[in-house]
Chains A and B, each alone.
Chain A
Amino acid sequence: ETGVTQTPRHLVMGMTNKKSLKCEQHLGHNAMYWYKQSAKKPLELMFVYSLEERVENNSVPSRFSPECPNSSHLFLHLHTLQPEDSALYLCASSQDPGTGGREQYFGPGTRLTVT
Chain B
Amino acid sequence: AQSVTQLGSHVSVSEGALVLLRCNYSSSVPPYLFWYVQYPNQGLQLLLKYTTGATLVKGINGFEAEFKKSETSFHLTKPSAHMSDAAEYFCAVHSGGGADGLTFGKGTHLIIQP
Contacts and interface: CB of A to CB of B under 8 A. Distances in A.
Query: Do A and B belong to a common assembly?
Result: yes
Interface of A: 4, 6, 31, 33, 35, 40-43, 45, 48, 50, 55-56, 90, 92, 96-98, 100, 102-109, 111
Contact of A97 (B36, B98, B104, B105): B98
B102 A97 contact: no
Interface of B: 4, 32, 34, 36, 41-46, 49, 51, 90, 94, 96, 98-107
A4 B99 contact: no
Nearest to A9: B41
B99 A31 contact: yes
A6 B36 CA distance: 19
B102 A104 contact: yes
Given A42-B107, A97-B94, A106 B100 contact: no
A97 B96 contact: yes
Nearest to A55: B99
A106 B44 contact: yes
Nearest to A94: B99
B43 A103 contact: no
Given A102-B32, A102-B51, A103-B34, A48 B101 contact: yes
